[in-house]
A and B are shown apart, each in its own frame.
Chain A
Amino acid sequence: MRRFSAFSLFAEALRGHQDWPEHWPDKPPKSSYDAIIVGAGGHGLGAAYYLASRYGIRNVAVIEKGWLGGGNTGRNTTIIRSNYLYDESAHLYDHAVKLWDGLSQELNFNVMYSKRGVLMLAHNVHDVQSFKRHIHANRLNGVDNEWLSAEECREYCPPLDISPNARHPVLGGALQRRGGTARHDSVAWGYARAAAALGVDIIQNCAVTGIRRGVDGAVQGVETERGFIAAKKIGVSAAGSSSLVMKMAGLEFPLESYPLQALVSEPVKPIFPCVVMSNSVHAYISQSDKGELVIGAGTDQYTSYSQRGALHIIEHNLAAICEIFPIFTRMRMLRNWGGIVDVTPDRSPILGKTPVPGLYVNCGWGTGGFKATPGAGDLLAYTIAHDAPHAINAPFNLDRFRNGALIDEAAAAAVAH
């Protein structure tokens, strides 16, 4: 890997950018690895990077059925925040937010993390009470979150309509200033480049078709489209396909896969300074550095693997956006798509060991996995390296659905509660 610096960019520019090495060489799989990660999204690549950089396991492969970052990493709305209600969730998501800080420097790749603030609008008395409860809970956990009056909300986000007879009146909002956005593709590319530099093999277009287990029940490796690859430790980070991969190891998981809808507008000049979420009308919006409004909607009501856009859902979503931000009523939309999200019954992820020795899982992030990318990668890597969960992800175990210790996270993104 050649490091990016002002000097190296200048020197390469003089040569017409012809001499850059491949960022992540396309390697054929070896016959065995110390650890295999299934799924080359941000979470899986992050896990491989942290295994190699922090936990000393460098003989690692990341196996991906499609292309790198082509699943939910490339389909989300890039929002980063950690203002979750419960202690376990606040610690989990804030672990990620702390890693977002300095990530560009660590990876030597600009992930464009922008702390522009995430503002959650309160439209009714219930919202006000619940958000204020969140703010107090967050502050007790060391997570920044503050209450803004309606006037302060408009000052922070001028396109907002706060007139008292608006369709969705704004009674105030909860602002997390450390929240914001990052460039989603860059996160996958940055982790892939940094992991490859440490010796991690990234194998794309190679679907895992089976998980081989020995007589003792422990994993021996994965069957793939390009043959058997041996490994004593396998971490699964396959988002919407997680339950299918776990079935290959004979495990049933409490997951259902839904398409989550998102869309972008045509690019315009900078107009929208922050991220605004409006949970009660199922809309969240920000503006990318390229100029597009990036808008998130809800999920389809039925389970599906189809990754298709759904016009009636974004129509509902845009109706609310136009009421809250009348300035956007004549904005044209460019693209709508769906990403398949794996949803758990309590809307919290499953991150830790499984009943199968040597098999580890990072799944169930549902509609809000992007923000957790560095944290989930680090904690999956920690769990694989130590064969035991970190204190932060210990509560997010699979057993909670049997023993009842659910983390029923009501602040999860885009889900009606």
Chain B
Amino acid sequence: MLLIHCPYCDEDRAEVEFVYGGEAHIARPLDPSALDDTQWESYLYLRRNPRGRHHERWRHTYGCGRFFNAVRDTVSDVIETTYKAGEARR
């Protein structure tokens, strides 16, 4: 089980309080009707799935309820840092 630091509550809490939200920093298309099939495929389905540093969203569902971002190493599962939603990619 991971120990995750919520940047809003400023506390380390157990993973079971959180829900994983997938890869972070995927921007919703500004003009959806202008996208072709290849762009939709990329937005909906293609993920980096790296072996190493991964930027991802988490939600402190059983705490403050807010979304934030984390950088985690997908081999060691060590969380390098967490930061508030809307902040620049680290």
Contacts and interface: CB of A to CB of B under 8 A. Distances in A.
Dominant SS among interface residues on chain A: loop
A139 B21 CA distance: 38
Nearest to B44: A345
A397 interface: no
Nearest to A259: B77
A404 B38 CA distance: 11
Contacts of A254: 41, 45-47
Contacts of A304: 74-75, 77
B54 A303 contact: yes
B76 interface: yes
* 10 cross-chain pairs, A with B, having the tightest CB-CB distances, nearest first: A254-B45, A301-B20, A402-B41, A302-B20, A243-B49, A401-B45, A402-B37, A252-B46, A345-B45, A312-B1
Contacts of B49: 243-244, 253, 255-257, 303
B64 interface: no
B74 A303 contact: yes
Dominant SS among interface residues on chain B: mixed
A105 interface: no
Contacts of B45: 254, 345, 401
B37 A308 contact: no
B3 interface: no
A256 B47 contact: yes
A310 interface: yes
B13 interface: no
A214 to B, nearest CB: 25
Interface of A: 241, 243-244, 252-257, 301-306, 308, 310-312, 345, 401-404
Contacts of B15: 301, 312
A310 B51 contact: no
Contacts of B74: 257, 303-306
Interface string B48-83: 010100101000000000000000101111000000
Contacts, number: 56
Contacts of A310: 1
B56 A302 contact: yes
B19 interface: yes
Contacts of A301: 15, 19-20
Nearest to B39: A402
Contacts of B42: 252
Contacts of A255: 47, 49
Contacts of A403: 37
Contacts of B56: 302-303
A311 B15 CA distance: 12
Contacts of A306: 74-77
A301 B21 CA distance: 9
Nearest to A255: B49
A311 B1 CA distance: 7
19 contacts: A243-B49, A253-B46, A255-B47, A257-B49, A257-B74, A301-B15, A301-B19, A302-B2, A302-B20, A302-B72, A304-B74, A305-B51, A306-B74, A306-B76, A308-B77, A311-B1, A312-B15, A312-B16, A403-B37
B1 to A, nearest CB: 5
B84 to A, nearest CB: 19
A301 B51 CA distance: 16
B19 to A, nearest CB: 7
